[in-house]
Amino acid sequence: MKRTTKVVLALILVVTAGISKAIFTDTAISRGNSIETAEFDIAISKDGKRFYNELKLFEMSNFLPGETRKSEFQIKNRGTVEVKKLTITFKVRNYEVRMSPSEKAVDSTPETGELGKWLVLKAIRIGGNNITINQTLNTLNGKTITLPVKLNPGETAKVEMMFELPEDAGNECQTDGIDVTLRLDASQ
């Protein structure tokens, strides 16, 4: 009899414990959360209609001493965040197109052009700001200049570069050429 009593008591205890744990509960779930990075993309254009990641911007020929010429292009923020810093870096390569008779008399390096010693980038104008540069293309080779402009997503800015071949540029840079690579770097 004693054994039976003990078993019954134990069963009652277990059932009671089960009932006391049966409280109301609820859960909320949030699915489909994601984190994506922003897109950083700048592009250039000559006419402001179509923009490219890579584009030839100018080809100037028959440049004469005393002459000033302007190159214009547009830069666009095609990304999803503001561009807070924009820089332009110059890479310059001089070459001889040919040796004209009057050039031969003063130029002893038929393999190397001299135009970069003379041709000056006077200024860069961007978004109404004028930056005075006044440096020859040879001096600018490898240099990086910060452009004072900020671009919101979708925003475009016009860039003008003023080049001048000084009047005292002599015959050594006659029929010389210069190949300029411009690299634009944007950052947050």
- Interacting residue ranges for Ca ion, rule: CB under 5 A: 107, 109, 112, 114, 172, 176
- In the complex, minimum distance from the CB of residue 64 to Ca ion, in angstroms, rounded to a whole number: 15
Give backbone dihedrals phi and psi of 126, rounded to 5 degrees, phi first: -145, 130
Closer of 164 and 172 to Ca ion (Cβ): 172
**C-beta of 71: minimal distance to Ca ion in Å?**
22
CA distance 80 to 3: 78
Beta strands in 6-155 (DSSP E): 42-45, 67-77, 85-96, 120-126, 129-136, 144-147
Nearest alpha carbon to residue 161 among 57, 64, 50, 85: 57
Taking the complex as a whole, the smallest distance from the CB of residue 115 to Ca ion amounts, in Å, to 7
Alpha-carbon gap, residue 9 to 29, rounded angstroms: 42
Q: Which residue is nearest to Ca ion (CB)?
A: 109
Task: Select 112 or 129, whichever has its Cβ closest to Ca ion.
Answer: 112
Q: Which is nearer to Ca ion, 156 or 171 (CB)?
A: 171
Single-letter residue type at 6: K
From the CB of 175, what's the least distance to Ca ion, in Å?
7
Q: Which is nearer to Ca ion, 173 or 186 (CB)?
A: 173
| Nearer Cβ to Ca ion (83/173) | 173
Rounded to whole angstroms, how far apart are CA atoms 46 and 145?
21
**Least Cβ distance, residue 180 to Ca ion (angstroms):** 17
Strand order in the sheet with 156-165: 42-45, 67-77, 156-165, 120-126, 129-136
CA 87, 88, 91, 94 torsion-angle sign: negative
